[in-house]
Structure 1
Amino acid sequence: MLPVPIHIPTDSTYADPGSNCTTPKTASTVLDKEETEGSVLDYTERSQDTHRNDTRLPKRQSFPNDKLTKAEMRVEQFIRDNEFPTAHKELIRCVALCRIIHGDFHWRLAEAFANLAYGYLTYKGLPAQAKQHAESAKSILLRGVDMTKSSKEKRGILGTLVTIYYTLGMAHLMENNGREAHISLQKVEKIVEELEELQEKESVTGKISEKDIALALGRACLIQNKSSSAMNYFERAAELVVSSEGDSSPELVSIYRDMAKAEQKRKRHDQAIQHLLQAHSICQSVYKPLSVDAAQTGLLLAKAYAAPGSSDYSEMAEKYFTESLGVYRTVLGPDDPQTLTACVEFSKWLIQNGNTQEAYKMLHQAVGLGVEYNETVSEMLSIMGSICLADGKISKGYRLLKKCLEIQVAVDGSQHSKSRATQNLLSTLQKSGAVGD
């Protein structure tokens, strides 16, 4: 029989209308979220009909096998060379070849779709496509895969399940859906427990580590405002990094930042500052003081010192605001969006502390550089306009706010809440007679 047409499915339907075989129910209990108790791999219900998936291909069809092997090797090489778009094309090729070789219901096809989904997530940053192909992989396993009880097969299916659920979890995180992300990532945890029973934890997947899983779970908890649980996962992730790479690993920077967020949500500002100091120290050591990474952690430190609102921290807040803005200007230039964002944050803190004229001067200098208009620039103009209005400079404030509105409408549209708020303020000023038409 000729193979069915090759395509990359856009839904989770894989029925072969020309096949009368019965599909086994090997992995369906794992994938059903209502049946989370018991073994991740329940192989007790198997079909005796194995003619489709376990039938060995005749020698005349060995060519697709060779092409698949070479495609998989190219994927690994392109990833090592950071040639991600080319690697992604090879992942698509692997799906097509797996379908020719193994058919519609084999776990190897599910594995290929899972890898493609992970590629969409990691190399392209497209969560919707990542979820689509991860669901396709899951659908194949839900329909039942015909396997033996060998450890090699079990490791393969475990690796596929890890990739599927981790990809789904991270895709939901990218879409800020903490609850769905948590559900998928908890399944990954359960699969890892099953793997520990096989004593094969480290060999499941080279793409996803225990640290990745702990960090993702922490972020899922953080989105759901479960700060204590998030801290537990972040601490676990930090322990894993320190044990394998030392306490100066660059990977700790993002973890310490996340730990600071969790502590800030719990109103534990001193602890948040300590985590950010650790992150900043690593950045200055690894990336050097004049680096974007050091500027970013410096800005976070400044905001952390400013958060408590205590005068005891004012000196440190100003120190890190000044240092961070200076590094941004030096490394990226004065008109870079990140530099302008740091300028806005610094100005807000200055206004909070009563230094409105210093804030206005800083913003005026930044806007006067001929920067490209964007959302950050509109915010700068809004702040400047508000300062002018507060000082009684109504006409000047009106002109600044009018320019701010033009940018807001161009960027967000006239019906956006920010645009409407600015328009209402301008209308009020016009009706008051303080400015001309």
Structure 2
Amino acid sequence: MSLAPHSGPFRASQQSCSVTALDEPFTSFNMSSSASSGESLQETDSTIISQKADVKNYSMMTPAEKLSLCERRAQSLADSEEYDPCIQELVRCLALSRLVYGNEHFAVAQAQSRLAKAYLQHKGWAHQAQEHASQAHEVLRSSQQEERRSHLSCLLTIHQTLGNAALLLGNLAEAESSFQKAEIVVGDLVVQEAMGKEERVDIEYEIFTNLARVYQRQGKPEKALSQCERALELFQKGDQLSRICCVYRNMAAIEQAQGHLDRAIEHLLLAHSIALRQSPGGLEGAQIAHSLALAYSSTSEPHHNDSAAHFFEESISVYRSALGPQDTLTLSAQDDFSHFLLLTGQQERCAEIQKESLAYKKRTFGELSAEVAEALQLIGGVEMTQGQMRHSHRTLKKCLDIQNMLYGPQHKKTKATQRTVDMLSQSPEIGEGHKDIGLETRPPFCAVVSSVSEVTSSMSNS
């Protein structure tokens, strides 16, 4: 079982700790415009500059003045998080740089590297970022020697962008090489006294964290943990608590992947303590509590059950108060808790939680959703073990109807539920409308589904 909840810590850490932000795909911008300066410059003035005064004067400007204006506008749009128009301005900057300086000037390499970084950072377009960063690198190598500091700063952006793009594309050896080159460039910038301490910490943290991701995906956990340790050493004074917390969560993920649950729990407890100190009752603490609950419930040691239940309840409580009972994180944590309760023989409480969440699941996921079907399956199964045959038959029939719609009658889930419904339909309690039978004659829970593991696996995969 993974320690990461369905949308939780180690996936959530990708939101709070990742280097690149992956936004929704952008389809309205023509990618080929970056290849031709003429096409970019032939657009109407009103589409280039939005301010009336700039539109009025734009046609009178020299290309160099237009370049300066577009650079300022691109920065302004980035600051205001208007990423699509920002990228359009950066494309114009590239076209104007070629027009003003020629194709092999350092300014063109700068413009190309900025565009590559924007594609990756604002849109998550790894292929485009890789192409432009590679072109920037070629221009940088063939251009006349620029001032050393500027040259190194541009080279650093290129290597970081190439590394992040390669990581997204799964080219791990290329990503490792790019990040290692970026680390060397950082050292050169420090020697040149061209980088302040705070900036150096930020960049090295990013490099070490990404190298840890590379090594983890390469199946080299010791190297990955070593990079995490290097990241922790950057914050020896105890500042940057959110980053320290993120590193511990990453270390827990690495240890968990190796089956070292005890070590994973140690890292998560440290992260949890930091998160609560930084923001009591905050979402990050709830996400870590959720991971801790999953970790404790995965150990198969009965003395950890109390800890698992405690952290499940803590995470659900915070999710409900901060996000609401209908939020996917809340519902996911409740499903994982139900999962745990089922495995520890607390079937009635499991059914209670599923009944409470059923209306919210219908509202969030829809009446005909896998989440609703799985909740009905659990509720019907518990009702059957309690001898409530008529209730169970009605509940599982609803589940079957949804599964037929979602998966079709030949799917293994549909067939399993169909067998149970058929069995219940043939019982005299259903056919003759008798009252629910006594608990002493109830069937075992495994009669409802093929095994407990089938239920838990289906909930985990949703």
Whether 2:133 is the aligned partner of 1:137: answer: yes
Conserved? CA contact 2:400–2:418, under 8 Å: no
Match of 1:274 among 259, 263, 266: 266
> After the TM superposition, which of the residue ranges 296-305 and 217-226 deviates more from structure 2?
217-226
Aligned length: 368
Whether 2:393 is the aligned partner of 1:395: answer: yes
Q: How far apart in 2 are the matches of 1:295 and 1:99?
A: 51
Task: List aligned pairs for 1:193-342, cutoff 5 A.
Answer: 193-197=184-188, 199-200=191-192, 203=195, 209-240=203-234, 242-243=235-236, 246-247=238-239, 249-289=241-281, 291-342=282-333
Q: How far apart in 2 are the matches of 1:109 and 1:406?
A: 58
Q: How far apart in 2 are the matches of 1:232 and 1:332?
A: 36
Q: Secondary structure at the match of 2:119?
A: helix
Residue 358 of structure 2 corresponds to 367
Give, in angstroms, the shift of residue 305 of structure 1. 1.7
Give, in angstroms, the shift of residue 226 of structure 1. 2.4
> After the TM superposition, which of the residue ranges 294-303 and 161-170 deviates more from structure 2?
161-170
Q: Larger relative contact order (C-alpha < 8 A, sep ≥ 6)?
A: 2
Q: Indicate the percent of aligned positions where both proteins have the same amino acid.
A: 25
Q: How far apart in 2 are the matches of 1:293 and 1:430?
A: 42
What whole-Å deviation, never above 9, does each CA across 1:398-428 have from its counterpart, x for those lacking one?
3242254267x2xxx759xxx9232232444
Give, in angstroms, the shift of residue 315 of structure 1. 1.1
What whole-Å deviation, never above 9, does each CA across 1:212-260 have from its counterpart, x for those lacking one?
11111212222333222211112212222x14x7355212222211111
Q: How far apart in 2 are the matches of 1:400 and 1:202?
A: 67
Q: If the length of structure 1 is used for normalisation, what is the TM-score?
A: 0.72
Q: Secondary structure at the match of 1:371?
A: helix
Q: How far apart in 2 are the matches of 1:92 and 1:384?
A: 56
Structure 1 residues 326 and 400, CA gap change in structure 2 (3 angstroms): farther
Residue type of the alignment partner of 1:283 = A
Residue type of the alignment partner of 1:64 = P
Instruction: Mark the runs of 5 or more structure 2 residues left unpaired by the alignment.
Output: 1-28, 39-59, 431-462
Whether 2:112 is the aligned partner of 1:118: answer: no
Q: If the length of structure 2 is used for normalisation, what is the TM-score?
A: 0.68
Residue 166 of structure 1 corresponds to 163
Conserved? CA contact 1:71–1:94, under 8 Å: yes
Conserved? CA contact 1:74–1:90, under 8 Å: yes
Instruction: Mark the runs of 5 or more structure 1 residues left unpaired by the alignment.
Output: 1-6, 17-60
Q: Secondary structure at the match of 1:368?
A: helix
Structure 1 residues 292 and 191, CA gap change in structure 2 (3 angstroms): closer
> Which has a greater percent of helix?
2
Give, in angstroms, the shift of residue 135 of structure 1. 1.4
Give, in angstroms, the shift of residue 270 of structure 1. 2.3
Q: How far apart in 1 are the matches of 2:292 and 2:383?
A: 30
Q: How far apart in 1 are the matches of 2:279 and 2:372?
A: 29
What whole-Å deviation, never above 9, does each CA across 1:170-218 have from its counterpart, x for those lacking one?
433xxxx3xx145223322124325524624864996971111111121
Conserved? CA contact 1:257–1:275, under 8 Å: yes
Conserved? CA contact 1:75–1:87, under 8 Å: yes
Q: How far apart in 2 are the matches of 1:86 and 1:294?
A: 36
Task: List aligned pairs for 1:13-28, cutoff 5 A.
Answer: none
